[in-house]
Chains A and B, each alone.
Chain A
Amino acid sequence: MKLTPPARSAVHHPHAHDSALKHATGAARYIDDMAEPRGCLHTALVTSRWAHARLTGIDASRALELPGVHAVVTAADIPGENDVGAIVPGEPLLAEGVVEYVGHPVAAVAARDLETARRAAALVEVTAEPLTPVLDLREAVEKAHYVLPPSEFLRGKPGPALADAPHRIRGEIMVGGQDHFYLETQAALALPQEDQDMLVHSGTQHPTEVQHLVARLLGVDMNAVTVEVRRMGGAFGGKESQATIIAGIAAVLARVTGRPVKCRLDRDTDMMVTGKRHDFLLTWDVGVDDDGRVQAVEMTLAARCGWSVDLSPGVVSRALSHADNAYFYPHVKLTGLFCKTNTQSNTAFRGFGGPQGMMAAEAMMDQIARTLNLDPLEVRRRNFYGPEGRNLTPYHQPVEHFRLPEMLDEVLASSDYAARRKAVDAFNAKGGVLRKGLAVSPVKFGVSFNKPEMNQAGALLHVYTDGSVSLNHGGTEMGQGLFTKVAQVVAAVFGLDLDRIRPTATTTGKVPNTSPTAASSGTDLNGMAARIAAETIRDRMADVAAEHLGAEKSAVVFERNMVRAGNKSVPFGELAELCHVARVSLSSTGFYRTPKIHFDRTTNRGRPFFYFAHGLAVSEVAIDTLTGEWKPLRTDILHDVGASLNPAVDKGQIEGGFVQGLGWLTMEELVWDKDGVLKTHAPSTYKIPTARDVPRDLRVDLLADAPNEEATVFRSKAVGEPPFMLAISVWLALRDAVASCGPAGHVPKLDAPATPERILMAVQAAKDTA
C-alpha cells in the first residue's frame, strides 16, 4: 500500500495522470463511448473527388430514398452563415460553388446508423466542371500563388552585410508535412435542447471556437450553444480549428433533423478531410566569417497552406520567429510565403511552424560547418545568442535568461560526447557497410501565443462544505496531463491531498471566452487562473479560520488537509462548513493574463514571448549504406522545464514529443498523386513510429534547480511543444552518417523525411562525389 503523498508535495511531484486508472481499465469515456441518446443519428460525409472544380449539381434524391436516411445537407441548408474561418472569414463548412481539394466536404448525411449513412453518402451525385489545380509547393512558390501576402521579419541591413561577408553559402531543403494521427479520430455529438439551444460534445482543443462557429452556422447567439469536452484521445493541434468542421456538421444536422447527431470520422476520412502540419520549402543565403560565424542571413520560408488560410498566419509567424533557433543573426531578413495549393488546409501541429523554422537554422548550421570543414558543434556554439550586442532576435526581442551554453556543457559531459565522437569517426574510417552518425541540436522555443490577446485564461473553482474541491478551467485534456497539473496547483494552494480536487469537463458554460489549449501554454495560463481562484477562496477562508482559531490572519497556514494557526488547527472540510455557516462564498473565478508581452503585427516587432524554454539532444544513429535503412542508437536529452510541476508528466511530454518529431523527420511521409489524391491516408501506408522505431537507449534529464526567472506558476516552464524539435538531432545525425560516405567538405543532400530510399540516394550522391 502506497501512502498518498503528503499535500506539501502536491506540486513538483510525479503524480500519475488523473485518468490513469480509467485508461488502464477501459473506463475512461471518449465521445464515441458515451451512451447514445434515444434517436441518435449517425453521419457520413460526401466529399470532393476533384482537387479543384466548379460545382454544377448535387443530387441527393437517391440517398434520401434509402430507408433510415433522415437528412442530406449541403451549403444551402445551413441555417446561419456557412463559414468556419478561424482567423479570416471565407472558409465554408460545406463547399459552395467550388471545391478546392480532394476530400473537401460537399454534403453530409444523417441516418439511423453508420452503415446506412455511408451507403447514402455514396448515392449522393455530385457533378462538377474540373478546374486546373495547383498541387505542388514549388509550383505555388514559382507562381506566387498565395492565400495571403508575404510576411517579413527584418533587422539590420542584410543586403550589404551579405555582400561583405568572407563566405557566402546558399542552400535549401524541403521539409515534409505530418498527419496528427491522434488515436481517437475527430468526433462530435450534438444534442438539440429547448428553444434553439445546442449542446455539443466536441473533441476539441478550442471549445470557445467551436461554440462561436456553431452559433454562426446555426444563426444563433453564442449563449445558445454550449460546448463540452472531458478528454480527447490525442490532439496535437489537429483538434484546434479542424474540430469545428466535425462539430459544425453534427450541429447543423442536429438542427435540421431535430435529433441528436453523432459525427465520428473513420480514419481514412479523417486523413483525407482534415489539415496537417505545413510542409515547407526552406531556402537561405548566408554570409559567414572563416570561423563559421554568421554575418548576415536572408531566408525564405515557403509554407504549403493548402486551400485556405485556416491558422496559417500564426504558423508562418512562429516559423519566422524560430528560424533563428538559438543563434544570433547580426543582419537578417526572413520572408514567409503563404502558398496556396489544392490540398487539405494545413493547420496547427505541435510546434506550430516553429519546427520548420528551426529546421532552416539547423540545416544551415550543418551546411556552414561542412562547407568550411568545421566541427558542426563548434559552429553552433559560436553562433549562440550572447550578451547584449548579440542577444537581439529577428523580431527585436532580447533573449534573456539564455540557458543553452551551460546546458550544452552539461549534456556533452553526461552523454560522453567527446569520446563517442572519436569512436564514431573511427568506426566510419573503417569504411564498412554500416556508418554511424552523431549530432547535437539545441532548442530555444518562445512560450506564449504569438498573438498577445490570446494569452489569457479563466478558471472556476468551488469548495464544497465537505472540503472537496471542484475544479474547472478553460484548458482541455488531450492526454498531456493538464488536468493533473492544474489540480496539483490547486491542491498546493489549499494544502490538500490531490484526490480532494476533482477536475471537471471543460465547458463553455462554466468558463467563457477561452483560448485554445495550444502553444504549450495550457498549464502556464490555466494553472495560473486556477491558482488565482484558489487563492481568492483561501483568503476568504483564512478570515474565518483566524476568527475560529483566535489568531492573526497572517498566522493561518493551509497544509496537510488542515488549517493551522500556532498550535490550533481545524480540518479543511470543517473550515469549509464554518465558512458556509458564516455566509462566506466558497466559489470563485480566477482570471490570468500573461504580463510583459506585446507584438506589432505590422512591423513584426515586439516581445511576443514571456520567456524561452530550452533543450538539447545528442543523438547517435547507424545507417545501412546498402539499403538506406537506419537505426536510432542512443539519444541523450537535457531539457529545461523550469521547476517541474510534475516530473513524470513532463518527461512523458519530452519522450513523446521527441518520438513524434523523429517520426516527422524520418518516416512519416505524405504523398499526393498527380490528381491531388492523398495516397497515404491510413496507417498501412502512412508510417507512424512504433516501439521498434525509437532509440533503445533514451536518457532524458530535466535541467535541475532551474526555476523560471519569470513569475510563472510555481516557476515552471511549458513543455508541450519544445521537445518535439529535439528530434532534429536525429536528422542531423543521419546527415553526419551520410557525410562520412563522401569527401571532406561534402554537404549531404537530404530532405525530410529522411526515408531509407532518400538516405540511400544521399549515400550514393556522397560516394559519387568522392
Chain B
Amino acid sequence: MTNRSFLATFLIGLFLAAIIHIGILLFAPRLSVSDAWETLALPLEEFVAIPARPMMPTDFADDPSVDAELEEDIVTIVPMQDLDPQFSHTICRFHLRTGPVHLRSEGLDAFWTLNLFSAGGISFFSTNEQVNAGKPMNVLVTTPQQVASLRANNSASLDNLQVVETDTEDAAMLFRAYKQHEKPLPAELEKLQSIITCAPFQQS
C-alpha cells in the first residue's frame, strides 16, 4: 500500500469516526435510560415529595433503580449520584398542564438550595437561601401564559412568591437542606418531607 492510499484510508476512518462521535452525542440525551429524569423523576408519582439520599455501597451504581426496588418495603428513598451526605434531599416531580405549581418549605431552619430540572436532568432554575435573603422556599413555577392570566385576575396572590417562568411542562425539583445536627437519615428525611410542599397552586 502506498503512503498515499494509507493516508486516504486513515482520513476516511477519521471522517467516519467523527460522524459516529457526533451521532452518539446528539442522540445520547434522547436515548439515555440512565439520566436523572428517566431513572429518578419519571418513576415518581407527581406532586409527592420523596426523600433522596446519596449512593450507598449496596447501590448498584450502573442501575440505581434496582436499589430503589430493593428498598421499597422499608421506605421510599431515592438513591442519587453526587448528593452531599451532609445535606438532606427531597425530590418531587410535577407538571404544569393543569396550572402553576407551588413549591414551599416551612419551619426549616437551615441553609437550603433548590434546583429545578427537566427531561435529561437539565437545570432550568436554581437558587439558595442566601439569594432569597434567608427566607424559606416559596416558589411558583408557571408557564408565561399561566402567570399572565394570574396577574390579570388577582395579582395579590403572587405577593411574596418567587415566580419562575418556564415553557417546560414536565419538570422536577431537587431541594437540598443542610443537616444542622447529625441525625440518622430516615428521621431527617421524613421530617424534611413533612415540611416540603410540592402541589398545584391554590389561589388565595
A and B assemble together: no
B positions within 8 Å CB-CB of A: none
